[in-house]
Amino acid sequence: MNQASRPGRGGRPAQISADQITAAAIEVLDREGLEALTMRRIGAHLGVAAMSLYRHVPNRDAILARVVNHLFATALAGLDAGPTWTGALTAFAAAYRRMLLEHPNAVPLLATHPVDPDTAVPVLAVLLERFDAAGVGQEEALIRIQSVGVYTLGHALAQVGTRGAAEGADAGAAQDGADAEYYQRWFDAGLQALVTGFEHRGATR
């Protein structure tokens, strides 16, 4: 059997765990880029052969999913959502965006692999609460949160998910500076538009 061996009895003790694989994958991803994220390279990073990874993870795609969920969860853990739903939304967007810019090579992954519900729900719960307190219905609240989410991710794709992403992580790693400012201005403008747009939508309903 693969994976999640109950403590059961006996057996050779594991040198690596699924969590270590996830962490190693993120490191390889950040340092060497997305297409360096191979089973052999992750294994090497852990001092283990590629095939050994399969004892802890069913396939490569599961590693990618784990990376996505881990980045999302840690980026939004302990999100300070403030008292209002507007504040909660912008705090969510800012935390999400910060993670995306810190892990530019992961942006295409986030775009391609949905965050697991089990990972997303705790984050959403905090946000939903603020909407509920403001009397906004659950579907409407979800729509507003997810709209901000896809906007933030889409924006990050435009900023970093494309371009070199693969180089050596040093080729133009620190974006032009002027460029970075423009993207930030753009991001803030769009986010503000979304939030105030939703405010008015609430008012006229």
Partner DNA sequence: GGACTATGCGTACTACGTAAGCTTACGCTG
Partner DNA sequence: CAGCGTAAGCTTACGTAGTACGCATAGTCC
Contact residues for DNA, defined by CB under 7 A = 1, 5, 8-16, 36-41, 43, 47-52, 54-56, 59-61
- Other Cβ atoms less than 10 A from the Cβ of 54: the count is 16
Alpha-carbon distance of 147 to 164, in angstroms, equals 27
Burial class of 65 by CB neighbour count within 10 A (0 to 12, 13 to 18, 19+): buried
Residue 112 binding target from DNA, its own copies, none, CB below 5 to 8 Å by type: its own copies
Tell me the H-state helices in 134-177.
Answer: 138-156
| Residue (23 or 62) nearer to its own copies, CB | 62
| Residue (129 or 188) nearer to its own copies, CB | 188
Q: What residue ranges in 35-172 does DSSP mark as E strands?
A: none
| Residue (22 or 90) nearer to DNA, CB | 22
Residue 194 binding target from DNA, its own copies, none, CB below 5 to 8 Å by type: its own copies
Residues 79-138 that bind its own copies (CB under 8 A): 108, 111-114
